Structure 1
């Protein structure tokens, strides 16, 4: 692959069909051997898929037969502009001590709790369940909770 020739192109898709479009682009590319190098459908980018290709014509050709792929946005992007989509985010990002969360999986699914401690290195949080008779700290993974109310810092 020649880095000089490849560029990132943005494809507009039907809402909530980004993964489907990305998978279909991959299948068509493998079958047709078009000049597409990579396909990315970041969760944070609703309604769009990023495609690394040698030319806009290759992208246009591949999306012609892909359902839910609306159109290619004019112009191109580069690696620096999309690199933040490639960096994994910690599952405990945005959770603060004292926040009220709801457990979304595991044996305590549906229970509400208050965050007591955050362990960023292991991506775990320790919570105290509201409905428990005796306050027992429970440690869960950060992606197993949904934030209901963030605790604001007192000033």
Structure 2
């Protein structure tokens, strides 16, 4: 049976998380360290997470990597970091009736009212305010910015 993996937290220079993760991956490959996974979650500034059964190898791996500061004392578990591993739907927080602004694509800069939210496909259907004829268009949830959350009164 394989040794159990532990999760180690490595402190890095802010905004260098991805480059530190990439360099540790190169060192681990070159030196054949047993580092099984490296994650640099966007919402965790100044830290990266490493999976390895051996704290000594993690310590050695970060020795030569610029911007890798130190291994935080103690370990974490998969349960504690699992929320970093599940992607959040891009439509979270968008409700029917909300006023949004389209941030990319052919309708960039247009304001619209949300008519329907499809979490399964991570899309929303909106009606543009400036359209001569109100035609519903379906766009990806990550291409909009919420301006006002407001429930529709009576449709």
Question: Normalised by the size of structure 2, how large is the TM-score?
Answer: 0.88
What is the deviation of 1:54?
2.0
- Asked whether the 8 Å contact 2:96–2:151 carries over to 1, the reply is no
Distance 1:66 1:151, change over 3 A: farther
**Residues 3-152 of structure 1 aligned to structure 2 (within 5 Å):** 3-4=3-4, 6-151=5-150
1:153 Cα deviation after fit? 9.1
Deviation at 1:108, TM superposition (A): 0.9
Q: What SS is found at the alignment partner of 1:15?
A: coil
RMSD: 2.0
**What is the alpha-carbon distance in structure 1 between the residues aligned to residue 107 and residue 152 of structure 2?**
28
Post-superposition Cα deviations, 1:38-80, rounded to whole Å, max 9, x if no partner, equal 1011222222110011222211111122222222111100111
Q: Distance in 2 between matches of 1:101 and 1:132?
A: 15
Deviations along 1:13-61, whole A, 9 cap, x unmatched? 2222221111111111111111211101122222211001122221111
Q: Helix, strand or coil for the counterpart of 1:110?
A: coil
> What number of residue pairs does the alignment pair up?
153
Query: Could you tell me whether the CA contact under 8 Å between 2:100 and 2:147 is conserved in 1?
Result: yes
Counterpart of 2:101 in 1: which secondary structure?
Answer: strand
CA gap of 1:35–1:153, structure 2 versus 1, over 3 A, is farther
Deviation at 1:85, TM superposition (A): 1.4
Distance across 2 between alignment mates of 1:148 and 1:68: 38
Task: Extract unaligned runs of 5+ from structure 1.
Answer: none
Give TM-score scaled by structure 1 length: 0.88
Query: Which runs of 5 or more structure 2 residues have no equivalent in the other structure?
Result: none
